[in-house]
Chains A and B, each alone.
Chain A
């Protein structure tokens, strides 16, 4: 049996007595999207940050291509970071307002000391390379999120952790970004860990869905099954609460 791209086993993160993430286990394969759904405060963003190692998990294992990441120090982790990158919810706070688009997309290349094609990256996410000289506040919300995605792709990662990547966007722009993410996944064979509270969005992108509640995964399975025939009470409540579904 081959090793999946990402294997998370019994992952936990506690803040004092609060167990924000409580023994979570899942896998993500190449070219596959696993969506983690749940309401705010359920621990899904903490989970994203643990997997992306912006915060150190308190227990469990995170294996990327068989390489254990959880216990690694910040320094040891650094060269491995190009394998997994993060896309954030709010493109207005995830881009340094003092930098130009070009500087923002180039930052990961500079940090890892590798060459890269910034205009190429911008075109790949559907942005005019001319925009490289602009500051983020002169872009629309959708353009900013494309910049965030270009930055995440700069190091040619295998895994993208996407934390509510379309939540802050308008409906017509949401669809564009969703389609962009689907295209990039197909072209690059990316694995996606897609964090969202929006079941409609999840239904458009996810192969598999895991439902998170109070720090634990209560239900995991293929998207059609979890969203169409939910077996856990909490999942049923979530699906029933979607307006206009």
Chain B
């Protein structure tokens, strides 16, 4: 092993260098080197990040935890960041955002993602029901500013709800791997004990690390958690009285995030709160007041404004624009608007009427809008 490893490494770097040479590019023109090599090494790519699914396990009835072995193009991530995962379902590629839940120090270089199959979640349902070990998936590099700062804060409060646990799980595991000396509070909410992902591992970590305080809140009664009911100021006051001193990292459903944000804003400590939306607030489709039409210039289609997001309207018109998170995070759907005003579903902000790039998954037309799509 020790003798062959450097030789294998030498061979693979040499091969890689040859394959990325200009000569290889000319020989493989116009299709490119990847398009030849991928037929016998599906995860190989000169530039793209691809990964092989090496393990699939089920922590709860409605979730799936997958282990991915990324190719050499993966540059790693900062604990808390997300990536875009692309899978093919019935011949069609679908992209969604997931946050790795593993420690950034995992020695095997593997990525662990957990998805909850929620009602209407086309991709998460597929992952939960059909994902097979050995499947090749596409990945983006890690993205997002929600991450542990390089200089680790000494007092850390991690608050999460439901499957929003994954980015803060990565933070907790990373800090524990680093032998973090400061106090860490892990405050997590879920409906019931049977729905909670990472339950066993959290208990184990808390038992092993005296500086980790684990607080579990369950919405349903008699679940055995340290807290009961939804998040509220009382939980903070009773269980985490020094919360104002901590750097707090928050990821959960919209209602819970709003409640937490309110407290931090009221107390003037909002700069110590870092957050990640993992589900978009539901878009209120106001079809009654929708006016004008949506013009898809390049595809020469026209649709009456339905009041939904431009992404939904484009898809309803039979177009297949690129898209990813569908919640305004990943910018995969960014598209040129050549005329018209749009409303940002997250902020309610109305754009100007001129030309500009917009994220169509979180943009609702206000009157007639023309897209270069």
A binds B: no
